[in-house]
Amino acid sequence: MTQNPLIASVFRQEVLAMSAYQVAHAEGFIKLDAMENPYGWPEELKTRWLAALRDCPLNRYPDPQAQRLVQTIRAHDQIPDQHAILLGNGSDEIIQLLLMALPPRAHVLAPAPGFVMYKQLSDCLGIKYQGIPLLADNFGLDLSAMLAAIEQHHPAVIFIAYPNNPTGNLFDPVAIESIIKAASGLVIIDEAYAPFANASFMTRLTQHDNLLVMRTVSKLGLAGLRLGYIAGNPEIIGQLDKIRLPYNINSLTQLSADFALTHKALFDQQTQQICIERTRVFNQLNNITGITAYPSSANFILFRTPDTLADGLYAAIKQQGILIKNLNPQGGLLKDCLRVTIGTPDENNAFLASLKNALRIPDSIHTETH
């Protein structure tokens, strides 16, 4: 908090009580902390992309509806015409839009641990946020606790990340269905990791008026563009569209995302490679004494380290030039847990070697790969 009376009198309590979202300084590191796709584009594709950008009219405001991009997304994700689509400056902005539209005493519900922005943005808007703990053994949904919280608080919005971040698992779709049916408000299925998951609620949109499916191009390989989208009931999307800033998707993003998504084959290939590596890293991690890796349907793996070692291991891995995510400070179910994003085979090998080194286990990994 602040001692400065000017600051204290100007800003809302909620804002004063918050701390800024921290992003680790990553320059010079092998970056395996933020679920980015490690691969770039072939030169030939870059040349064609730059040619497409050449004539982008930067003197003009962008298309406020981004109509062409919306059509491309509709085709890319096979979203039927009866569902509306709203674009955001990252899906983070869509979460913010949803929460901004809620009445002052609204409740928001999500499983915990979950994606940090649900809570961060609720806190900043003064909305009551409730995290319902996942089951300790497998990070599954505690369905009866979720249903009890729905009955008690009637949350206006329930966020369910599918697969979940930071645990990486897909919740039981039957349990999610019960939650959608029990909810008196909206249920947002956040499919940020859809490219790696082989599971989706998109086809169930038609069955539920209160269901919305949110996605992003960030984890697919376009994190720098800042583009997310949400699909569902046109009446709900219409309300959100009223509070969306008119030009929230800039011209360069509209053009670049449209170009990229029409070259689906490249991302399919990269995604496949990442999934192959995910299996390999998962097996390698579980072969290390003292390490438990959790099954993942995303492009990262959560793993548990021996009691009290997480902070030290994280620091020792960082010391070796590899940045991952330390979740131990969040405590609860994440005590002793670290999270690594799947990188290129070489990056993954460097990470595995650094972890073994930090645990003082001789590294023999280079004899097992390629």
Ligand X SMILES: *Cc1c(COP(=O)(O)O)cnc(C)c1O
List residues near ligand X by CB under 6 A. Answer: 35, 90-92, 115, 161, 165, 190, 192, 216, 218, 223, 228
Residue number of the CB closest to ligand X reads 90
Q: Which is nearer to ligand X, 64 or 224 (CB)?
A: 224
- Least spacing, CB of residue 36 vs ligand X, in Å: 10
Query: Shortest gap between Cβ of 27 and ligand X (angstroms)?
Result: 20
CA distance linking residue 260 with residue 126, whole number of Å: 38
Judged by beta carbon, residue 257 or residue 353, the one nearer ligand X is: 257
Nearest distance in Å: CB 74, ligand X = 18
Of 14, 242, 230, the closest CA to residue 127 belongs to: 14
First to last CA, the chain: 53
Phi and psi of 107, rounded to 5°?
-110, 145
The least CB distance from residue 338 to ligand X, in Å, is: 16
Nearer to ligand X, 165 or 271 (CB): 165
Closer to ligand X by Cβ: residue 175 or 359: 175
What radius of gyration, in Å, describes the C-alpha atoms of the chain?
A: 21
Return the amino acid letter for 87: L
Q: What is the DSSP string of 221-271?
A: IIGGG--EEEEE-HHHHHHHHHHS-TT-S-HHHHHHHHHHHT-HHHHHHHH
Residue 83 or 215 with smaller CB distance to ligand X = 215
φ/ψ (deg, to 5) at 142:
-90, 85
Task: State the minimum distance, in angstroms, from the CB of residue 247 to ligand X.
Answer: 18
At 299 the three-state DSSP class reads coil
Residue closer to ligand X, measured from CB, 93 or 277: 93
Smallest separation (angstroms) from ligand X to the CB of 248: 12
